[in-house]
Amino acid sequence: MSTDSLRTDASSTEAASLDDRHHATDLRERFALPDGVVYLDGNSLGALPRAVPAAVRDAVEQQWGRDLITSWNTHGWWDAPARVGDALGRIVGAAPGQVVVGDSTSVRLHQVLHAAAGLRPERTVVLADPDTFPTDLYVLDGVARQLGWTVEHVAPDEAVDRLRGTDDVVAVVYSHVDYRTGVLWDLPAVTRAAHDAGALAIWDLCHSAGAVAVDLDAHGVDLAVGCGYKYLNGGPGAPAFIYVATEHQAAFSNVIPGWHGHAQPFAMSGEYAPADGIDRARIGTPPMLSLLALEAALTAFDGVEIQDVRARSLSLTGFLRRCIDALVPGTTYASPDDEGRGSQVAVRHPDAYGVVQALIARGVIGDFRTPDIVRLGVAAPYLTHADMLAAATELAAVLEADEHLDPAYSRRSAVT
């Protein structure tokens, strides 16, 4: 028996043991996953929860098809943005009445940034990670031009030092998890440092909501945004969410005032008066089918604490790294090897795009991020330790046979 076979047999035994240990958080039966696929791209688009098709069918055929416009009342369409917000809030550690769902992350970023300007009108500097997801930078630069702010590019792990003794910073605007490397930034420490400096803490939770314990209320986060289609599994283009801490809601100014955020929306007044509470962050009519799909998707987390999902995630990603190290010695990682990672393992390789395409051909779906990252997203609720071993085994096979060098895998699709 070869050394590789011995290593694989040992890993198989460990995988079975770990899957047994984490059996209580194995939610795979709540998801519809194709046979023969190890899906490691839930950090881009979550898998389909089994509850969603029936919910969407009912929304289309019964609510829209038969009950028509009466569904705004009889099926609670009007209240859905806040109702789904409360369900999502449980996952990100927000008490009811602080999260509302609808629109896109880009729109939500515009809202929280302009709201921050109103909350800290005397300040003009905002700190941002230069390596964050590009949309965050685009939106921030646009808002800064509008407001006369200065954007300082400061990595999250340097923010505490930059904030010490300062009185010019409006807010820090950071992603909780780096979308490429999977680094989990220290949200509690950065938030404390921002508050000590009189600044606001704004967090983008796109790569952490549903994967790690965020604990917005416990850590005193001021404002946050995130999408619904990654680890929350709400489907392609699922609506985004906005979190406004209760203490800021009375002073929250909505830069995009729409009739759904009006105190008396059906009075049809020509003058805007903001609603009380989190409803003032609403804008216009939400995409109801997507919103109801997200509501159904969130039921996949019923009966499970996010801390336990996180424990499963750390076990899965740690085991994936050990398997890769055993089967592909010398692998270089962009993601940390400890609890400082989110829920992904990022492998560096000069031909990363080809590696990803070759893996997909073998039934292991990850994705590529420029310039050299093979991004393996681990959505803990529907993945197993056996899946991690399978992924590492296929990665080793791809590299051993140089499959990633096939010219067919060098032609890049529009979506990489």
- pTM metric for this prediction: 0.96
Per the annotation, the verdict on 230 as an active-site residue is: yes
Per the annotation, the verdict on 301 as an active-site residue is: no
Q: Residue range 106-118: average pLDDT?
A: 98
Per-residue confidence (pLDDT) for residue 308, from 0 to 100:
98
Q: Residue range 392-413: average pLDDT?
A: 95
| 3-state SS, residue 238 | coil
Gyration radius (Cα) of the chain, Å: 22
* pLDDT above 50: residue 49: yes
Per the annotation, the verdict on 204 as an active-site residue is: yes
Catalytic choice (7, 58, 133, 348): 133
The rounded mean pLDDT for the chain is: 96
Per-residue confidence (pLDDT) for residue 10, from 0 to 100:
64
Catalytic choice (123, 230, 362, 369): 230
Q: Are 216 and 94 in contact (CB under 8 A)?
A: yes
DSSP tag of 380:
G
Model confidence pLDDT, tens digit, residues 315-329: 999 999 999 999 999
Model confidence pLDDT, tens digit, residues 75-105: 999 999 999 999 999 999 999 999 999 999 9
Catalytic choice (31, 39, 174, 229): 229
Per the annotation, the verdict on 266 as an active-site residue is: no
Q: Are 227 and 135 in contact (CB under 8 A)?
A: no
Catalytic choice (19, 41, 103, 204): 204
Instruction: Provide the token pair at 109.
Output: 């970023």
Model confidence pLDDT, tens digit, residues 211-254: 999 999 999 999 999 999 999 999 999 999 999 999 999 999 99
Q: Are 144 and 165 in contact (CB under 8 A)?
A: no
Per-residue confidence (pLDDT) for residue 410, from 0 to 100:
87
Model confidence pLDDT, tens digit, residues 161-187: 999 999 999 999 999 999 999 999 999
Catalytic choice (375, 382, 387, 409): 375
Per-residue confidence (pLDDT) for residue 6, from 0 to 100:
44
Q: Which residues of 267-279 are buried (b: 16+ CB within 10 A; e: fewer)?
A: eeeeeeebbebbb
Q: List all residues 6 or more positions away from 113 whose beta carbon is below 8 Å from its beta carbon.
A: 126, 139, 140, 143, 171, 173, 202
Per the annotation, the verdict on 229 as an active-site residue is: yes
**Band of the pLDDT at 313, cuts 50, 70, 90?**
very high
